[in-house]
Structure 1
Amino acid sequence: MLGVPCLQYIDDRHVGPLRVAALSTASQINSWSNRELSEAAAYILLHLCVSTGYFIALDKSILLPVRSLVLLGMTVDTTLQAFIIPDSKKARFVELVESALAKHAILITTLQKVKCISFSLAIPCARIYIRQMAHALSKAQTSAQNLVRVNNPLREELKWWIKIVQTASHFKWLEERHTTLQLYTDSSSHKWGAVFKPNSTKSLTFSDSWEDEWRKKSINEKETEALARALIAVGPQVTNTRLNVFSDSAVLVHAWNAGFPGSKSISLNDLLKKIFSFCIEHNTQLNIAHVRSQQNLADRASRELSMMNAKLSDQTWNKLEREFGPHTLDGMATYSNARLKDFISPFPQHNSAGVDFFHHHFSRDDNIYLYPPFSLTHPVVKHIVNNSLNATVVIHKDNSYPAFWPMVAHLAVRILKLANRGDSGVILAPSTDGYKPCSTPCELFAARFVAPATSSGDECDELKQ
């Protein structure tokens, strides 16, 4: 009613500028500056406190408005819009941690002092970077020991804290935004999937098979990694937004929402760090809610298998490399089926060289390999020819001649037959147990295209033989 915003902690009061909109006489003070509004708010609060019998500790009070002050051991800076650790506190902390790093074992009380939960205001990720400390303390207290061994994982975590305290300037408060988006994520034993809904009428689906390394991991780790990969896929689209994520993993939901991101599992905690780093970089407010598997829109994407994601077997790929290689770039692949380290993916992936073959700028030195879906063969070939690219395209051809075949036969400098229908060991199809050999559904060819401006006549003649 009085328009005075006030933050109270026990006997401390932190007052902000008078809120003009909350006053019935707002029209009289609309022209006041922020300083005048702050002075008015402080005056009203002081008047109320004194009239109700409070004693004001003047020597501990800041009665004139400032843009930066120390409150509860933390600097509150309204210009930078951040909580900052005071320099004196940083110096004491670094000295304490460096003394711990110089030893092979430290007292439990020393590690308890180092444990950085109190820094969570200034460093929002504090809780997920104290798991090694918490694990070491728990282990020492369970075994009734007074000493904690400073092993390599604990040592690395302590070094991280010295680095972040000494080098990080500040973490800006998240800006208030009103754009709310939805993202559904899920994982099965063999695949991860995500459905992004930027609005009520549009949805985008992303998915990929797990690599051999990830198929062996626990389902909780897969669910968390699925969210991390989905965030990379939507990328800039969720910058400066609130993002509501729906997952059927109760473990992930609890780890993110239980007070602050964190998990007792060291491996799961490392994955949460990736998610938190994304949120800081993109200024994204991430809310994760639990949804039943039947209601999870990403459930199907994380389970269905498609021949559109097939890839050449090692034997067939080596043959292609001998004939037309070395190839420098896989122009149409995901991480799981890419045949080369550098690949162009259909959606952003953390290790891809680019997104969308049709919008990527290729170098004249690139020798591109492509295994496109059947429906994209025609536009892929036209794009290669129109942009004078050096490329090898794997083409499916059923019993009838597809519409694009005359164009391929006319423009390709060489067409190499890879397999007849029903041949085995030529292509690998995604399965619940990784990529496995399967029979070829139709005839398979490799068409070679050479850019006229960069290829010599001798090379073309050789390829046509």
Structure 2
Amino acid sequence: MACATSAIYSDASDSGFGGFSVQLSDSVCAGLWSDSESKESSTSRELRALLYVLRSLGTQLRGKKLKWYTDSQNACRIISVGSTNANLHDLSIDLYNCGMDLNIHIEPEWLPRELNSRADQLSRFIDPDDWSLNRSVFSHLDKRFGPHTVDRFASHYNAQLSRFNSRFWNPGCEAADSLTQNWACENNWVFPSAFIVLKAVQHMRECKSYGTVIVPEWPSAPFWPALSPTLGFLRTYLVAHSFA
């Protein structure tokens, strides 16, 4: 039976979800909705935000009682008694089953929107550098240089591999902030934003790791000299570079 209590805050916006645990200071969740999710009702998105935050932080909260704060009165009620709306009821069942799997008991509590500002800000965060390679191109490169084992810069909606790291915690991610992880003994898939290419390359060298790095073909960029010895390896609209 869950006993220790943690406080969780979550929120949903038109663009995405956000949440955090008071006890887990570095565990911040955020992500964008898919096209279909963004068209759902506000109550559906609020329930889905709870579900995605639970899936993101669940293993760190296993066996706990969660006092869950949301500014949606409808979501609080549905978690407690269900809904006559099939979609909303299914989401509440998914949330219940996820909690059961992790031995987590959820006690929802409504709070005014102005007291949920941090979760609200997280739900509205849009990372302009959150991108991924076309899956057909990834498949080609994975066949040539793979199989790759971990996608080091991804989100739950664009990860190329089942194992991935994200900027923030989101459903299914193995770790947040990939540059704090040990990349050794993996064939890493690395598609970072341009401003951290140098950090990613340096991290690979420090970990003595192996992988494929995807960068823009951008000769004037600060990272270009660090990669110049291997230019010509793949030069179309990107460059793939493997480190041994």
Q: TM-score range by the shorter chain?
A: 0.7 to 0.9
How big is the shift at 1:321? 5.7
CA distance in 2, matches of 1:398, 1:301: 35
Q: Flag the 1:275–1:254 CA change in 2: closer, same or farther, 3 A.
A: same
Q: How many residue pairs are counted as aligned between the two chains?
A: 235
Aligned residue in 1 for 2:103: 283
CA distance in 2, matches of 1:396, 1:294: 45
How big is the shift at 1:232? 1.4
Aligned residue in 2 for 1:272: 92
Aligned residue in 2 for 1:355: 175
Q: Flag the 1:286–1:394 CA change in 2: closer, same or farther, 3 A.
A: same
CA distance in 2, matches of 1:449, 1:195: 36
Paired letter, 2:14: S
Paired letter, 1:288: P
CA distance in 1, matches of 2:219, 2:64: 47
Q: 1:105-141, CA deviations, whole angstroms, 9 ceiling, x for partnerless residues?
A: xxxxxxxxxxxxxxxxxxxxxxxxxxxxxxxxxxxxx
Q: Flag the 1:227–1:360 CA change in 2: closer, same or farther, 3 A.
A: farther
Q: Flag the 1:232–1:398 CA change in 2: closer, same or farther, 3 A.
A: farther
The one of 122, 129, 132 equivalent to 1:311 is 132
The one of 227, 241, 244 equivalent to 1:448 is 241
CA distance in 2, matches of 1:235, 1:264: 27
**Aligned to 2:6, what secondary structure does the other structure show?**
strand
Aligned residue in 2 for 1:243: 66
Aligned residue in 2 for 1:335: 156
Q: Equivalences for 1:376-395 in 2 at 5 Å?
A: 376-385=196-205, 386-395=207-216
The one of 204, 217, 221 equivalent to 2:44 is 221
How big is the shift at 1:375? 4.3
What is the aligned-residue RMSD (CA, Å)? 3.1
CA distance in 2, matches of 1:203, 1:350: 16
The one of 76, 80, 87 equivalent to 1:253 is 76
How big is the shift at 1:210? 1.0
How big is the shift at 1:299? 0.6
How big is the shift at 1:184? 1.2
Q: 1:283-322, CA deviations, whole angstroms, 9 ceiling, x for partnerless residues?
A: 323111112222212111111322121334x4xx656765
Aligned residue in 2 for 1:210: 33
Counting aligned pairs with the same residue, the percent is: 20
Q: Equivalences for 1:394-409 in 2 at 5 Å?
A: 394-395=215-216, 399=220, 401-402=221-222, 404-409=223-228
Aligned residue in 2 for 1:190: 15
CA distance in 2, matches of 1:447, 1:363: 20
Which ranges of structure 1 fall in alignment gaps of 5 or more residues? 1-173, 419-444, 452-465
Runs of 4+ residues over 4 Å off in structure 1? 317-322, 347-352, 360-364, 395-399
Aligned residue in 2 for 1:414: 233
CA distance in 1, matches of 2:64, 2:11: 22
The one of 218, 232, 239 equivalent to 2:55 is 232
Q: Flag the 1:279–1:408 CA change in 2: closer, same or farther, 3 A.
A: same
How big is the shift at 1:388? 4.1
Q: Flag the 1:446–1:342 CA change in 2: closer, same or farther, 3 A.
A: farther
Q: Flag the 1:271–1:414 CA change in 2: closer, same or farther, 3 A.
A: same
TM, length-normalised to structure 1: 0.44
**Aligned to 2:59, what secondary structure does the other structure show?**
helix
How big is the shift at 1:342? 3.2
Quick one: higher RCO (CA 8 Å, sep 6+), 1 or 2?
Answer: 2
Q: Is the 8 A contact 2:2 2:63 kept in 1?
A: yes
How big is the shift at 1:269? 1.4
CA distance in 2, matches of 1:309, 1:250: 32
Which ranges of structure 2 fall in alignment gaps of 5 or more residues? none
Higher alpha-carbon deviation: 407-416 or 274-283 = 407-416
**Aligned to 2:154, what secondary structure does the other structure show?**
coil
CA distance in 2, matches of 1:411, 1:448: 7
CA distance in 1, matches of 2:157, 2:132: 9
**Aligned to 1:307, what secondary structure does the other structure show?**
coil
**Aligned to 2:156, what secondary structure does the other structure show?**
coil
Q: Is the 8 A contact 1:185 1:226 kept in 2?
A: yes
Q: 1:323-372, CA deviations, whole angstroms, 9 ceiling, x for partnerless residues?
A: x443655332112233x2535032565555x43545376776x4x43321
Paired letter, 2:191: Y
Q: Is the 8 A contact 2:12 2:18 kept in 1?
A: yes
Higher alpha-carbon deviation: 341-350 or 279-288 = 341-350
Q: Is the 8 A contact 1:391 1:450 kept in 2?
A: yes
Q: Flag the 1:175–1:221 CA change in 2: closer, same or farther, 3 A.
A: closer
Q: Is the 8 A contact 1:186 1:223 kept in 2?
A: yes
